[in-house]
Amino acid sequence: MERLNPDKLPQHVAIIMDGNGRWAKKRNLNRIAGHQKGIESVRDVVRTSRELGIKWLTLYAFSEENWRRPKYEIDTLMDLLNRYLKGELKEMLDNGIRLACIGQTEKLPQEVQRTLWQTIEKTAHNKEMTLILALSYGGRQEIVQSVRNMLEDIEKGKLTVKQITEERLSKYLYTAGIPYPDLLIRTSGEYRISNFLLWQMAYTEIFITPTLWPDFRRERYLEALLDYQKRERRFGYTGEQIIHPKQEKTQHK
Ligand code: FPP
């Protein structure tokens, strides 16, 4: 396999982890077995990202729409998430991984919220990589929430209408301070964004693979990164204007 160029790695990778159910169905197993196997892929991709020096990794672990699933599946997913967080704390601490989350996390079960915030607190000083879990996350809901917060600040006199710019709005999103994703990976072959990071992905490169999430391990991930490295990111410029492909200036602090 070709080698990755360490100077051209994405700074931020976002992943829609899809296909756990199909993976299980193909094997005559229940959907839960697919999610359990999917957690192994989560570990593999987190480890590989850290090894490569990718600074930000966002995983779409539970969407706002996922609340529509059968209660049993939701409960099991929450339990898996809780165990994953507890089980991974040592690895996060040993490897300088900071945990963060985006989404309406107040909707998560109390127990999961407790583990989540404890893990975020305990890993807050880590600097090598930030793992962001999108939980009860929806891109439209995020934009609505940020508009509400902006209007509240206007009411309080902290902000004026004229001061609303793209940069200012981005500071009201859950992802304030996080660079926009350079690469989106979606597994299991669906060509959809599914309400994920709508604002943030305006210029994100998209890689869609038919591989089902439980089968998406290190090798497949490296293939996606290699594919990304072959692309020319133009951000509206012409190819000639881009001598050295550079990343969009996305860090709004
Ligand atoms: C999509 O597969 C996957 C999910 C809805 C949840 C993703 C969750 C995990 C990988 C495990 C928990 C996560 C963490 C971070 C510990 P699907 O069920 O939609 O599959 P299908 O489309 O084939 O039915």
Token pair in block for residue 46: 């987190």
Q: What is the pTM of this model?
A: 0.94
Q: Which atom of ligand 1 is nearest to the CA of 36?
A: 11
Q: What is the mean pLDDT of each run of 10 residues along the chain (253 residues)?
A: 90 98 98 98 98 98 97 97 98 98 98 98 98 98 98 98 97 98 98 98 97 98 96 81 59 44
Bridging pattern class, strands 12-16 and 56-63: parallel
Radius of gyration of the chain, Cα coordinates, nearest whole angstrom? 19
Q: Is 153 a catalytic residue?
A: no
Around ligand 1, the residues with Cβ closer than 6 Å are 17-22, 31, 35, 38-39, 42, 59, 61, 66, 80-81, 84, 133, 188, 213
pLDDT, position 242: 76
The helix-helix angle for 218-229 and 31-52 (nearest 10°) equals 50
pLDDT, position 243: 66
pLDDT, position 59: 99
Q: 6-138+180-241 falls under which CATH superfamily?
A: Decaprenyl diphosphate synthase-like (3.40.1180.10)
The helix-helix angle for 31-52 and 71-94 (nearest 10°) equals 20
Sequence ranges of the domains in the chain: 6-138+180-241
Q: Which of 16, 18, 79 to mutate to test the pocket of ligand 1 (most atoms within 8 A of CB)?
A: 18
